[in-house]
């Protein structure tokens, strides 16, 4: 069962400076520092996205996902930059984060499928959430990825 956290969702213009700072710091902590993967995290897509995150009782960001609008990354809406921080791991937050992200997209774009570029080692996790692998593995930032698609809400 996921711990008690406070969930937030906002478009870029609705983020406070503190929120933006904390979200980018969490992304850097996981993707660049922990995964030892130098890449350009601030890629110009944050302004064309919804941001979904959770803070714990200490106000620390423990989970985050970026939901890009249709036509920004893929023709479909997409979920990316999915993280749980060290403080948020092994508590079910990753599943809750993805469930909430899917629900946000289904509410806004009920007739559209959802496409993700998933790290290959998480394929089984995403399949358990209804995503189907639709590409061969490819390298993105030197990490094996797969494109996966979730059908539109029936």
Whether 1 shows a pLDDT value over 70: the answer reads: no
Percentage with pLDDT > 90 across the chain = 86
Name the average pLDDT for the chain.
Answer: 94
Q: What is the pLDDT of residue 36?
A: 84
The string of pLDDT tens digits covering residues 88-101 is 999 999 999 999 99
pLDDT reported for residue 31: 87
Two structure tokens written together for 130? 């209804």
Condensed to tens digits (0 to 9), the pLDDT of residues 39-82 reads 888 999 999 999 999 999 999 999 999 999 999 999 999 999 99
- Judged against a pLDDT cut of 60, whether residue 2 lies above it is answered with no
Q: How many CA atoms lie less than 13 Å away from 37 in the CB half-sphere?
A: 17
- Check residue 3 and give its pLDDT: 63
Contact 5/63 with Cβ under 8 angstroms? yes
Domains of the chain, each with CATH number or no CATH? 6-112 (3.40.630.30)
pLDDT reading at 149 higher than 90: yes
| 154 confidence band (pLDDT: 50, 70, 90) | low
Structure-derived torsion over alpha carbons of residues 87, 91, 97, 98, reported in degrees to the nearest 10: 130
Q: How many Å separate Cα 24 from the centre of its chain?
A: 13
pTM over 0.85: yes
For residue 81, the model assigns a pLDDT of 95
């Amino acid at each position: 069962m996921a711990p008690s956290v406070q969930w937030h969702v906002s478009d870029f213009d609705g983020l406070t400076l503190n929120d933006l700072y904390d979200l980018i710091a969490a992304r850097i902590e996981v993707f660049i520092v922990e995964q030892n993967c130098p890449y350009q995290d601030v890629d110009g897509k944050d302004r064309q996205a919804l941001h979904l995150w959770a803070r714990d009782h200490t106000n620390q960001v423990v989970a985050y996902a970026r939901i890009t609008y249709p036509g920004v990354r893929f023709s479909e809406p997409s979920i990316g930059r999915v993280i749980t921080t060290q403080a948020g791991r092994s508590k079910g937050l990753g599943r809750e984060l993805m469930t909430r992200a899917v629900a946000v997209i289904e509410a806004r774009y009920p007739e559209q499928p959802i496409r993700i570029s998933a790290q290959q080692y998480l394929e089984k996790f995403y399949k358990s959430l209804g995503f189907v692998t639709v590409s061969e593995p490819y390298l993105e930032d030197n990490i094996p990825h797969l494109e996966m698609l979730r059908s539109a809400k029936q």
